[in-house]
Amino acid sequence: MRTDPVAPGSAAGRVAALAALLADETRAAMCLALLDGRAWTAGELARHARVAASTASEHLNRLVAGGVLAEERQGRHRYVRLAGSGAARLVEELAARAAPGGERPVGLSAVRAGSRLARGRTCYDHLAGRIGVALTDAMAERGLLDRDGDLAPTAEGRAWFAAQGLDLTPPGRRPVARACLDWTERRPHLAGHAGALLCRHSLDQGWCRRPGTDRAVEITPEGERQLGDLLGIAADAWRPTR
Protein backbone atom coordinates (compact mmCIF):
# COMPACT_ATOMS: atom_id res chain seq x y z
CA MET A 1 0.00 0.00 0.00
CA ARG A 2 1.35 3.42 -0.96
CA THR A 3 1.93 5.92 1.85
CA ASP A 4 2.45 9.53 0.86
CA PRO A 5 4.88 11.56 2.96
CA VAL A 6 3.46 14.17 5.30
CA ALA A 7 3.57 17.61 3.72
CA PRO A 8 5.96 19.92 5.62
CA GLY A 9 3.36 22.71 5.75
CA SER A 10 0.56 20.54 7.08
CA ALA A 11 -0.58 20.55 10.71
CA ALA A 12 1.12 17.19 11.24
CA GLY A 13 4.28 18.49 9.63
CA ARG A 14 4.32 21.57 11.87
CA VAL A 15 3.82 19.47 15.00
CA ALA A 16 6.65 17.17 13.94
CA ALA A 17 8.94 20.12 13.25
CA LEU A 18 8.21 21.64 16.66
CA ALA A 19 8.77 18.31 18.40
CA ALA A 20 12.09 17.95 16.57
CA LEU A 21 13.18 21.39 17.83
CA LEU A 22 12.72 20.38 21.47
CA ALA A 23 13.94 16.80 21.01
CA ASP A 24 17.57 17.91 21.12
CA GLU A 25 19.05 17.90 24.64
CA THR A 26 21.06 21.10 24.15
CA ARG A 27 18.07 23.05 22.87
CA ALA A 28 15.92 21.64 25.67
CA ALA A 29 18.48 22.78 28.26
CA MET A 30 18.45 26.28 26.81
CA CYS A 31 14.65 26.47 26.88
CA LEU A 32 14.52 25.23 30.47
CA ALA A 33 17.05 27.88 31.52
CA LEU A 34 14.91 30.56 29.89
CA LEU A 35 11.96 29.61 32.09
CA ASP A 36 13.34 32.15 34.55
CA GLY A 37 11.64 34.75 32.34
CA ARG A 38 14.80 36.73 31.65
CA ALA A 39 16.65 37.35 28.42
CA TRP A 40 19.98 35.53 28.20
CA THR A 41 22.92 36.18 25.89
CA ALA A 42 24.02 33.48 23.49
CA GLY A 43 27.27 33.18 25.43
CA GLU A 44 25.48 32.61 28.73
CA LEU A 45 23.34 29.89 27.18
CA ALA A 46 26.41 28.29 25.58
CA ARG A 47 28.08 28.05 28.99
CA HIS A 48 24.89 26.78 30.60
CA ALA A 49 24.45 24.04 27.99
CA ARG A 50 28.22 23.34 27.96
CA VAL A 51 28.63 23.75 24.23
CA ALA A 52 30.81 25.94 22.04
CA ALA A 53 29.54 29.41 21.16
CA SER A 54 29.23 28.49 17.48
CA THR A 55 27.17 25.39 18.37
CA ALA A 56 24.93 27.43 20.67
CA SER A 57 24.37 29.98 17.92
CA GLU A 58 23.21 27.26 15.50
CA HIS A 59 20.76 25.89 18.06
CA LEU A 60 19.43 29.35 18.91
CA ASN A 61 18.92 30.17 15.24
CA ARG A 62 16.73 27.10 14.89
CA LEU A 63 14.71 27.91 18.01
CA VAL A 64 14.15 31.50 16.86
CA ALA A 65 13.18 30.39 13.35
CA GLY A 66 10.78 27.86 14.87
CA GLY A 67 9.04 30.53 16.94
CA VAL A 68 10.03 29.09 20.33
CA LEU A 69 12.45 31.93 21.13
CA ALA A 70 12.53 35.63 20.31
CA GLU A 71 15.73 37.60 19.99
CA GLU A 72 16.80 41.16 20.74
CA ARG A 73 20.08 42.83 19.84
CA GLN A 74 21.78 45.54 21.86
CA GLY A 75 25.04 46.62 20.34
CA ARG A 76 27.22 43.57 19.86
CA HIS A 77 25.13 41.44 22.20
CA ARG A 78 22.40 39.08 21.13
CA TYR A 79 19.75 38.31 23.74
CA VAL A 80 17.13 35.60 23.50
CA ARG A 81 14.04 34.86 25.56
CA LEU A 82 11.07 32.55 25.29
CA ALA A 83 8.76 33.89 22.62
CA GLY A 84 5.90 34.37 25.07
CA SER A 85 3.68 32.71 27.62
CA GLY A 86 2.55 30.11 25.07
CA ALA A 87 6.10 28.96 24.46
CA ALA A 88 6.77 28.96 28.21
CA ARG A 89 3.66 26.87 28.82
CA LEU A 90 4.80 24.31 26.26
CA VAL A 91 8.20 23.96 27.93
CA GLU A 92 6.65 23.86 31.43
CA GLU A 93 4.23 21.09 30.50
CA LEU A 94 6.92 19.03 28.80
CA ALA A 95 9.05 19.38 31.95
CA ALA A 96 6.12 18.26 34.09
CA ARG A 97 5.52 15.19 31.95
CA ALA A 98 9.21 14.34 31.99
CA ALA A 99 9.24 14.48 35.80
CA PRO A 100 12.37 13.32 37.63
CA GLY A 101 12.69 9.56 37.61
CA GLY A 102 15.63 7.33 38.24
CA GLU A 103 18.31 9.83 37.28
CA ARG A 104 19.62 11.63 40.34
CA PRO A 105 21.83 14.74 40.56
CA VAL A 106 25.53 14.05 40.87
CA GLY A 107 27.60 16.02 43.37
CA LEU A 108 26.71 18.22 46.33
CA SER A 109 26.23 21.40 44.28
CA ALA A 110 23.74 19.65 41.97
CA VAL A 111 21.83 18.26 44.95
CA ARG A 112 21.66 21.71 46.56
CA ALA A 113 20.54 23.34 43.31
CA GLY A 114 17.81 20.76 42.87
CA SER A 115 16.65 21.26 46.44
CA ARG A 116 16.48 25.05 46.02
CA LEU A 117 14.39 24.74 42.86
CA ALA A 118 12.04 22.25 44.52
CA ARG A 119 11.47 24.63 47.44
CA GLY A 120 10.66 27.55 45.18
CA ARG A 121 11.39 28.90 41.73
CA THR A 122 10.02 31.08 38.99
CA CYS A 123 8.44 29.18 36.12
CA TYR A 124 8.71 31.82 33.38
CA ASP A 125 6.83 34.59 35.22
CA HIS A 126 4.93 32.79 37.98
CA LEU A 127 5.84 31.02 41.21
CA ALA A 128 6.38 27.27 41.25
CA GLY A 129 7.74 24.59 43.55
CA ARG A 130 6.63 24.32 47.16
CA ILE A 131 6.10 28.09 47.41
CA GLY A 132 3.87 28.24 44.33
CA VAL A 133 1.81 25.22 45.38
CA ALA A 134 1.41 26.45 48.98
CA LEU A 135 0.13 29.82 47.77
CA THR A 136 -2.26 28.16 45.32
CA ASP A 137 -3.59 25.74 47.94
CA ALA A 138 -4.17 28.54 50.45
CA MET A 139 -5.99 30.71 47.92
CA ALA A 140 -8.18 27.81 46.81
CA GLU A 141 -9.00 26.82 50.39
CA ARG A 142 -10.07 30.40 51.11
CA GLY A 143 -12.35 30.42 48.07
CA LEU A 144 -10.21 32.87 46.10
CA LEU A 145 -9.48 30.40 43.27
CA ASP A 146 -11.85 27.87 41.71
CA ARG A 147 -10.21 24.44 41.60
CA ASP A 148 -12.96 23.17 39.29
CA GLY A 149 -12.48 26.11 36.93
CA ASP A 150 -8.76 25.85 36.09
CA LEU A 151 -7.93 28.03 39.14
CA ALA A 152 -9.92 31.00 37.84
CA PRO A 153 -10.29 33.75 40.47
CA THR A 154 -13.70 33.78 42.13
CA ALA A 155 -15.54 37.00 42.94
CA GLU A 156 -13.79 36.93 46.33
CA GLY A 157 -10.51 36.30 44.57
CA ARG A 158 -10.96 39.27 42.26
CA ALA A 159 -11.66 41.42 45.28
CA TRP A 160 -8.51 40.06 46.98
CA PHE A 161 -6.32 40.91 43.97
CA ALA A 162 -7.89 44.37 43.75
CA ALA A 163 -7.16 44.93 47.46
CA GLN A 164 -3.48 44.29 46.68
CA GLY A 165 -3.64 46.86 43.88
CA LEU A 166 -3.40 44.19 41.17
CA ASP A 167 -5.40 44.48 37.94
CA LEU A 168 -6.57 41.09 36.66
CA THR A 169 -7.28 42.37 33.16
CA PRO A 170 -4.81 40.37 31.05
CA PRO A 171 -2.86 41.93 28.19
CA GLY A 172 -3.69 40.41 24.81
CA ARG A 173 -5.14 36.92 24.73
CA ARG A 174 -3.38 35.57 27.78
CA PRO A 175 -5.75 33.73 30.13
CA VAL A 176 -6.52 35.40 33.44
CA ALA A 177 -5.49 32.20 35.24
CA ARG A 178 -4.72 28.57 34.56
CA ALA A 179 -3.52 25.55 36.48
CA CYS A 180 0.06 24.52 35.71
CA LEU A 181 1.19 21.07 36.82
CA ASP A 182 4.24 21.48 39.05
CA TRP A 183 6.96 19.03 38.01
CA THR A 184 8.44 18.70 41.52
CA GLU A 185 5.30 18.82 43.67
CA ARG A 186 3.16 16.94 41.09
CA ARG A 187 0.25 19.25 41.90
CA PRO A 188 -0.99 22.44 40.25
CA HIS A 189 0.25 25.93 40.89
CA LEU A 190 -1.26 29.19 39.63
CA ALA A 191 -0.11 30.43 36.22
CA GLY A 192 -1.53 32.84 33.64
CA HIS A 193 -1.86 36.58 34.19
CA ALA A 194 -2.95 36.13 37.83
CA GLY A 195 0.07 33.94 38.54
CA ALA A 196 2.41 36.50 36.96
CA LEU A 197 0.88 39.31 39.03
CA LEU A 198 1.21 37.31 42.24
CA CYS A 199 4.85 36.48 41.50
CA ARG A 200 5.83 40.06 40.68
CA HIS A 201 3.95 41.41 43.71
CA SER A 202 5.59 38.87 46.03
CA LEU A 203 9.05 39.87 44.83
CA ASP A 204 8.29 43.61 44.88
CA GLN A 205 6.87 43.43 48.41
CA GLY A 206 9.83 41.41 49.68
CA TRP A 207 7.70 38.36 50.47
CA CYS A 208 9.99 36.31 48.26
CA ARG A 209 13.54 36.88 47.09
CA ARG A 210 16.03 35.34 44.70
CA PRO A 211 18.92 33.81 46.68
CA GLY A 212 21.19 33.61 43.62
CA THR A 213 21.38 34.11 39.91
CA ASP A 214 19.25 31.11 38.88
CA ARG A 215 15.45 30.94 38.99
CA ALA A 216 15.27 29.73 42.59
CA VAL A 217 13.22 31.86 44.98
CA GLU A 218 12.69 31.62 48.71
CA ILE A 219 10.15 32.92 51.17
CA THR A 220 11.39 35.68 53.48
CA PRO A 221 10.49 36.21 57.17
CA GLU A 222 8.40 39.18 56.04
CA GLY A 223 6.68 36.94 53.51
CA GLU A 224 5.89 34.37 56.18
CA ARG A 225 4.28 37.07 58.30
CA GLN A 226 2.36 38.81 55.54
CA LEU A 227 1.14 35.67 53.81
CA GLY A 228 0.20 34.21 57.16
CA ASP A 229 -1.98 37.28 57.80
CA LEU A 230 -3.40 37.51 54.27
CA LEU A 231 -3.96 33.84 53.50
CA GLY A 232 -3.59 32.01 56.80
CA ILE A 233 -0.54 30.09 55.61
CA ALA A 234 1.36 28.43 58.47
CA ALA A 235 5.15 28.60 58.47
CA ASP A 236 5.46 24.84 58.01
CA ALA A 237 3.65 25.08 54.65
CA TRP A 238 6.95 26.12 53.08
CA ARG A 239 8.77 23.04 54.40
CA PRO A 240 9.06 19.61 52.76
CA THR A 241 5.83 17.59 52.78
CA ARG A 242 7.55 14.25 52.15
**pLDDT per position as a tens digit, 44-66:** 899 989 999 999 999 999 999 99
At residue 190, does pLDDT exceed 90? yes
Helix, strand or coil for residue 82? strand
Three-state SS string over 12-48 comes to HHHHHHHHHHHCCHHHHHHHHHHHHCCCEEHHHHHHH
What does the alpha-carbon distance between residue 133 and residue 196 come to, in Å, rounded to a whole number? 14
What does the alpha-carbon distance between residue 146 and residue 10 come to, in Å, rounded to a whole number? 38
User: For 8-32, what is the mean pLDDT?
Assistant: 86
Considering all CA atoms of the chain, what is the largest pairwise distance in Å, rounded to the nearest integer? Answer: 69
How far does CA 203 lie from the centroid of its chain?
Answer: 15
At residue 13, does pLDDT exceed 60? yes
| Beta strands 40-41; 77-82: pairing state | antiparallel
Share of the chain above pLDDT 70, in %: 87
At residue 114, does pLDDT exceed 90? no
